[in-house]
Structure 1
Amino acid sequence: MSEIVFVTLAIALLWLVVAFLQPLAGRLNLPPTIMFAGVGVAIGTAAVVLLSSPLATRLEDVLKPIVNQPVPSAVFLYTFLPILIFQATLSIELRRLLEDLAPILLLAVVAVLVSAAVIGFGLNWAFGVPLLAALLLGSIVATTDPAAVVAIFRDIGAPARLTRLVEGESLLNDAAAIALFSWLLTLLVYDYSFGLTADSLWPAARDFVIAFGGGLLLGSVGARAVALAFPLLRGSRAAEATLVLVAPYILYILGDRFLGVSGVVAVVVAGLVLGGLLRRRIPPGNWQHLLDMGEQVAFWAGSLVFLLAALLVARMLSDFDLRDVFMVLAVVVAALAARALVLFGLLPALSAIGLSQRVSHPYKLTILWGGLRGAVTLALALAVTENRFLDPEVKRFVAVTASGFVLFTLFVNGLSLRRLIRWLGVDRLSAVDQALRGQVVAIALADVRDGVARAGDRYGIPAEVTGAVTGRYAPRIEDAAHPGGLEAVLTERDRLALALIALASQERSLILSYHEQGALSPPVVERLSRHAERLIEGARTEGRLGYARTARRALEFSRGFRFANAVHRYLRIERPLNRQLAARFEVLLALRLALTELRHYLDARIVPLLGERIGDIVAEMLQYRETATLAALDALRLQYPDYADAREQSFLSQFALRQELEHYDALRAEGLLGPELHENLRRSSLAAARSERRQRLRLDLGLDTVSLIRQFPLLANLPDDRRARLARLLRPVFVPPGAHIMRAGERGRGMYFISSGAVEVRRPGQDEPVRLGRGDFVGEMALISGQPRSADAVALSYCRLLLLDAADFEAFLKANPEVRDEVEAVTREREAENLVQDGAGPGDPAPDGEAAGDESAPDRLAPAEGAEPEPSNAPQGVAGGSQDGGGQDSGGQEEGGPENGGRDGSSRGLQAG
């Protein structure tokens, strides 16, 4: 019991040291990890010295836990390593990492193998160290620690890409090195007497590949399982933080102990995948809480493990001799040579074959010298010293050499890295960044100056006093502003791309803020967030054209929508289509709101920074996006007005709830509400919101066949029994805007009754198309004449149709003479009208769907009851707002069916803009 007490006290004292070392490191301008290492080595050395002095008897209970540390290597690997790796990967944006995936994998995987080989064979050749032991040491010292390097990078403002390369290398590097370490340790334990033989090498290599690949699979599946569990937590930040905290431990132990795969690889992949999923699926406040919690836990774990590992250095170096010094120096030279070979030999080859952007020589030199080693290296070395199956000489060799190498990289590389970066000029801003920085500073200082002037007026401060303060800003603004502005260093194309990237980033922030307010469902948030990220990528890679092309895709019907429409059409299953339409409502509503707010952002931020010319171009592009979005939303609103109103009310209700809760919080902070009353108000408001959310919005497609038949004047006088029989023959069909209901030249297989919506009949060679609406029918001419269809029929808005098959059509007309007479009368009118228009002979067939006289005029939809014409303010085709071409390319299905897509007039406008 007393031993546990003293161990706990020793750990508490170490954390106390950490608490004071962190600000001290900042004051001394040193990376905290280097500070921890130095203090840890000093404490460990002092403990060793005191334990052998006369004071040992009095301080033995305190000194023994420090010298003979009761924390085994398993504690380092199972308690600290998972959370350290997971937190670091969770905060990395996977999309940015993928931009440099090729060089990162080269540095993280190939460099590990090259370093282990160069160090192993070099020590075996120079010092006669057994090859497997030397290779094992090579895998241990191949693990890099990004903490110190990244701290230096961020302190001096190193480029983002350099930081990304080092972080990505270090994370994947640990996974590859530990997997290699486990493989070599197994060889060393079981086949040491035989060395590297074909019988031992091939099974071990196979196990290594399985372990690494299995870790990739486990991490990916585990991350998605955790993401699927998040909705069950109902937004509880404490529950979400707990789930994220335990996930890496479960995956690490499950892979390492039970499945025989790499737990480290699983944790790395899980962190990257889960970070990408949660960043879009949970509210921004909850996401930031996870990052803050993870950063705090990782700081505690990282600082403690570094101190504990550093304490061991004194014990491991207790019998350090001159041969060990030369061996450590040889490892340093071999490690640098191996990294140089990868950086200056293999990395340019990636750029030459187009797999990577070019990495400059200053970047390469910084990465070469910045490969610091730290706690993971020491923990792996400790694991070797505790393995009772290894030869004592091997354990001593690994412990001494690894410890000496870690100290060299920390105190030589680490302390000189900052000077190297400044000497290479890596921290210097480019001409573009300098101009952008100057413009931003000038605008900010001008805003501050104006704010000071207004404050002086408000508080009645004399004008001369206020002027003395505001006058200081004039020379600062003049110094900050770049001569000629950004136009002097950036082309109009580059400034436009910069504006569009900023605009798309703001759009993503707005979508996440709507999610924070609870106004959007998680799937819609994820969809729109991905769309905003694609906008950023499009603007970055292709500028204006890439942004415009990507913007059109937000209004397209997704594959899920087309699949749901096909399921509804052929299997008569309504729920998937219902869900897709509801999601489309949310998407269009959120886009409309975001685009409106983006106009204010354009005026407030982009125009002052990038100029009026860029502002005009971006405003024009926003206008095209707004027009297309409003047209698509109006098309849905015309079809489902009640649902549209309910959806907008729900959005505003969630926004009002957020405002209400923030108001209560403000009153509580000001002391006007006590804690009990504040909590009571919050509970009652949240309870009312939950009650409202229980009344889920449901979109009714309204495709009940019997009800639809009653709406047709042509079928209104049918007896109930005949109407029921007809209902069994008719098949309801939902058609999205732009879809072809029928095409000229195809065989007529049925006729369509239009229950709601707007249909346009386009006959080849005809100047003006004919529009049909509710109560009309189309497609009967081909059935009566037996000729192929002579016109296209395209949905202008969302349409509900009733399809009557050709055979059923003929049987129905025979059984209902009065309906036959009506159909034949309309047919004769259409034939006569076509004869007048075309000058055709009496025997020529008339196109399907073309009516005569006023009944067939293009404005026929105006007086038709329930008709839903295309919005008059939208260009032709914009009502669909979703397709980019017809047939297979746009609809994703065979031509000729209602699910096929049409052309999107808005896309032409956006490209032109």
Structure 2
Amino acid sequence: MEATFQIFLILLAALAGTALLARRINVAPAILLLLTGIVLAFVPGMPSLELPPELVLLVVLPPLIYSASVAMSWREFKSNLRPIILLAVGCVIFSAFAVAAATHYLIGLPWNVGFLLGAIVAPPDVVAPLAIARKLGLPRRILVILEGEGLANDATALILYRFAVVAISTGAFSLPKASGAFVAIIICELLFGAAVGWLSLRARHRARDPQIEITLSLITPYIAYWVPEHFGGSGVIATVACGLYMSWNGPLLISAATRLQGIFFWDLVIYLIEGLLFLLTGFQMRLLFEKSKAFPLDDILFATALVAVIVIIARFAWVFPATYLPRMLNKRLRERDPYPRWQATFIIAFTGVRGAVSLAAALALPFALPDGEAFPYRDLILFVSFGVIFITLVGLGLGLPPMARWLGVAQAGRDEHVAELQAEIAARREALGAALASLDAITDDHELSDEVVKLLRARHETRINQLPDSLDPQADDVSAAGIDLTRELIASERKFIHILLRDGKITDETRRHIERDLDLEEASLANREYRKMPW
């Protein structure tokens, strides 16, 4: 137990140090974490760590999917449902068949084994490419499509994966039955996920306690995921549906205190989960290296390179026709949603980075068939899966920033960000105006004095006057200077409060109350700075 805890502390230290280095050299943390995990795996004296597939598929995946779904806009998800489904379902199935065909004819794998390998490496990861895309400031629609695809493609891949494992284990497969089961799983999980979201939201609204509500929010994704998974589904679709339901209906039922505390809690949880997951994925290199001695190195490298090239080419071969062909054939679609720029389509096709879910699915393969024979090509599937993750994460991950700049997509995203900020200022101004307009009716209901009414009116008018009138560079410079000055004033307040506490003029409880107000004000400044950044 002590050794395990020591390794956990080493991983946390590596996570913090690698994330800091990634920020310094402006590289996606996932790439450095994977490389750091590989290096740590071969450090003398470091014990071998095998990534338990159940840890990823049953413990790690639910909160990752749920958190991303809650952060996702249901309106934007719905408006981009067609391209999301084409990628999350169509592209995954197409990629799996492409890998199966290539490995069957060029390597000699049986069709069912090739399809199993294709189902494992077909779904792109959402964490690393989305983090890079957001940092680059890509257009909002690209981010929504990539995030929506990342939420749903694991479900398609895991369902195909189960079908393939059953076909290899039993030697029987029926396409009509599999297709019917696929549709039934999706429908049932959508309904179940929405029901879990409805129940969770009502329970949290009745609790009216931030600690209890955050605890319930942590339980929610596991209920949504585990029940369908136990009955043979994927659990992913149910978790996505639950998260989207919470995203759309939660703002009016979740208190401000719960929302503020929940944001910090979930940000930390997701940060630790994602970082440790990439580190542990890198750690698997040592285990795979020890097993690779049973295979010719040339065969492993050829199979890995072949599958990596196939999944990359298959994504391009699917994305471009799926983007432009429906518009060519459907005039109404073309009028409602005109042809996108080819540069944006290219970026979506380029972000086919594979992640830890693929490795977890490979590790979850049984060691033996029901008749006692070894599961065919299990170790080869493990090698290829890890190799595809490494090649796509490092290669495509490092290539995405220069590619986006070269195609000019990043500049389009920055222009869009400026427009969003202008719309935000207008929305804030209108909301404050609506609050002022309803002030008279509210004061009549509560029978407030004139002094209180004047104070409330002055407060809202001050907030309106604080909103910028424009987003020109000169106004931005003035705003930035004001933020820096306000931060220095807050620091002066903190020092003075500490002096009062040290001199015994206030209690610790009073100091904590004042500090909380200062913390909220400083967090508000950080939020204003974040919105001004060019993504």
TM-score, structure 2 length as denominator?
Answer: 0.77
Which residue in 1 is equivalent to 2:25? 28
Which residue in 1 is equivalent to 2:354? 373
Which residue in 2 is equivalent to 1:287? 259
CA contact (8 A) 2:190 2:237 kept: yes
Cα separation, 1, equivalents of 2:194 and 2:122: 25
Cα separation, 2, equivalents of 1:260 and 1:432: 46
- What displacement does 1:82 show? 0.9
Q: Deviation digits for residues 181-235 of structure 1, max 9, x if unmatched?
A: 22222222222xx5x4xxx33333322222222211111111111111122211x
- What displacement does 1:429 show? 4.1
Q: How many residues align?
A: 462
CA contact (8 A) 1:100 1:356 kept: no
From the superposition, tell whether residues 433 and 304 of structure 1 become closer, same or farther in structure 2 (CA, over 3 Å): closer
Q: Deviation digits for residues 665-709 of structure 1, max 9, x if unmatched?
A: x9899746424578999xxxxxxxxxxxxxxxxxxxxxxxxxxxx
- What displacement does 1:280 show? 3.0
Cα separation, 1, equivalents of 2:235 and 2:456: 42
Aligned pair 1:85/2:65, yes or no? yes
Q: 1:339 aligns with which of 293, 311, 315?
A: 315
Aligned pair 1:325/2:322, yes or no? no
Which residue in 1 is equivalent to 2:119? 139
Which residue in 2 is equivalent to 1:5? 2
CA contact (8 A) 1:73 1:386 kept: no
Which residues of 2 match residues 127-166 of structure 1 at below 5 A? 127-166=107-146
Which residue in 2 is equivalent to 1:503? 426
Structure 2: stretches of 5+ with no match in the other structure: 446-454, 473-495, 515-535
Aligned pair 1:18/2:15, yes or no? yes
- What displacement does 1:329 show? 2.1
Which residue in 2 is equivalent to 1:707? none
Aligned pair 1:674/2:507, yes or no? yes
Which residue in 1 is equivalent to 2:272? 300
- What displacement does 1:8 show? 2.8
Aligned pair 1:176/2:156, yes or no? yes
From the superposition, tell whether residues 336 and 230 of structure 1 become closer, same or farther in structure 2 (CA, over 3 Å): same
CA contact (8 A) 1:150 1:167 kept: yes
Which residues of 2 match residues 889-908 of structure 1 at below 5 A? none
From the superposition, tell whether residues 512 and 15 of structure 1 become closer, same or farther in structure 2 (CA, over 3 Å): farther
From the superposition, tell whether residues 413 and 277 of structure 1 become closer, same or farther in structure 2 (CA, over 3 Å): same
From the superposition, tell whether residues 668 and 376 of structure 1 become closer, same or farther in structure 2 (CA, over 3 Å): same
Which residue in 2 is equivalent to 1:838? none
CA contact (8 A) 1:339 1:368 kept: yes
Which residue in 2 is equivalent to 1:237? 210
SS of equivalent to 1:322: helix
User: Which amino acid in the other structure matches residue 418 of structure 1?
Assistant: P
User: Which amino acid in the other structure matches residue 187 of structure 1?
Assistant: A
Aligned pair 1:417/2:400, yes or no? yes
- What displacement does 1:362 show? 1.2
Aligned pair 1:107/2:87, yes or no? yes
Cα separation, 2, equivalents of 1:680 and 1:34: 41
| 92-101 vs 130-139, which moves further | 92-101
Q: 1:250 aligns with which of 223, 231, 235?
A: 223
Which residues of 2 match residues 586-601 of structure 1 at below 5 A? none
Which residue in 2 is equivalent to 1:721? none
- What displacement does 1:401 show? 1.1
Aligned pair 1:262/2:229, yes or no? no
User: Which amino acid in the other structure matches residue 291 of structure 1?
Assistant: I
Cα separation, 2, equivalents of 1:147 and 1:30: 14
From the superposition, tell whether residues 505 and 110 of structure 1 become closer, same or farther in structure 2 (CA, over 3 Å): farther
- What displacement does 1:238 show? 1.4
Q: Deviation digits for residues 799-838 of structure 1, max 9, x if unmatched?
A: xxxxxxxxxxxxxxxxxxxxxxxxxxxxxxxxxxxxxxxx
Q: Deviation digits for residues 250-272 of structure 1, max 9, x if unmatched?
A: 22111211x44331211111111
Cα separation, 2, equivalents of 1:512 and 1:295: 31
Aligned pair 1:40/2:13, yes or no? no
Cα separation, 2, equivalents of 1:229 and 1:133: 45
CA contact (8 A) 1:36 1:307 kept: yes
- What displacement does 1:160 show? 2.0
User: Which amino acid in the other structure matches residue 394 of structure 1?
Assistant: Y
Which residues of 2 match residues 386-785 of structure 1 at below 5 A? 386=367, 389=370, 391-429=374-412, 502-504=425-427, 507=430, 605=467, 671=501, 673-675=506-508
SS of equivalent to 1:76: helix
CA contact (8 A) 1:278 1:287 kept: no
Which residue in 1 is equivalent to 2:342? 361
Report the identity percentage: 26
User: Which amino acid in the other structure matches residue 43 of structure 1?
Assistant: L
SS of equivalent to 1:368: helix
CA contact (8 A) 1:31 1:152 kept: yes
- What displacement does 1:248 show? 0.8
Which residue in 2 is equivalent to 1:224? 198
From the superposition, tell whether residues 218 and 436 of structure 1 become closer, same or farther in structure 2 (CA, over 3 Å): closer
SS of equivalent to 1:359: coil
Cα separation, 1, equivalents of 2:286 and 2:304: 16
Q: Deviation digits for residues 622-680 of structure 1, max 9, x if unmatched?
A: xxxxxxxxxxxxxxxxxxxxxxxxxxxxxxxxxxxxxxxxxxxx989974642457899
Cα separation, 1, equivalents of 2:418 and 2:199: 46
Which residue in 1 is equivalent to 2:524? none
User: Which amino acid in the other structure matches residue 345 of structure 1?
Assistant: P
Cα separation, 1, equivalents of 2:415 and 2:401: 24
SS of equivalent to 2:250: helix
Cα separation, 2, equivalents of 1:435 and 1:225: 39
Aligned pair 1:384/2:365, yes or no? yes
Larger Rg: 1
Cα separation, 2, equivalents of 1:669 and 1:289: 28
User: Which amino acid in the other structure matches residue 407 of structure 2?
Assistant: L
Cα separation, 1, equivalents of 2:118 and 2:148: 20
Which residue in 2 is equivalent to 1:852? none
SS of equivalent to 1:261: coil
From the superposition, tell whether residues 134 and 436 of structure 1 become closer, same or farther in structure 2 (CA, over 3 Å): closer
From the superposition, tell whether residues 145 and 676 of structure 1 become closer, same or farther in structure 2 (CA, over 3 Å): same
Which residue in 1 is equivalent to 2:484? none
- What displacement does 1:166 show? 1.3
User: Which amino acid in the other structure matches residue 29 of structure 1?
Assistant: N
The alignment yields a C-alpha RMSD, in angstroms, of 3.5
Q: Determine which structure has greater relative contact order: mean sequence separation of CA pairs < 8 Å that are 6+ residues apart, divided by chain length.
A: 2
- What displacement does 1:174 show? 1.6
SS of equivalent to 2:11: helix
- What displacement does 1:283 show? 3.1
CA contact (8 A) 1:248 1:267 kept: yes
CA contact (8 A) 2:367 2:374 kept: no
CA contact (8 A) 1:668 1:675 kept: no
Cα separation, 2, equivalents of 1:674 and 1:376: 51
Cα separation, 1, equivalents of 2:207 and 2:382: 46
Cα separation, 2, equivalents of 1:510 and 1:184: 59
Which residues of 2 match residues 720-869 of structure 1 at below 5 A? none
CA contact (8 A) 1:117 1:135 kept: yes
From the superposition, tell whether residues 418 and 431 of structure 1 become closer, same or farther in structure 2 (CA, over 3 Å): closer
User: Which amino acid in the other structure matches residue 268 of structure 2?
Assistant: Q
Cα separation, 1, equivalents of 2:305 and 2:143: 28
- What displacement does 1:327 show? 1.8
- What displacement does 1:309 show? 2.0
Q: Deviation digits for residues 396-430 of structure 1, max 9, x if unmatched?
A: 22111111111110121111221111111111147
Q: 1:278 aligns with which of 213, 233, 250?
A: 250
- What displacement does 1:294 show? 1.3
Structure 1: stretches of 5+ with no match in the other structure: 51-58, 441-497, 514-518, 521-581, 583-592, 611-665, 682-913
- What displacement does 1:19 show? 1.7
TM-score, structure 1 length as denominator?
Answer: 0.47
User: Which amino acid in the other structure matches residue 237 of structure 1?
Assistant: P
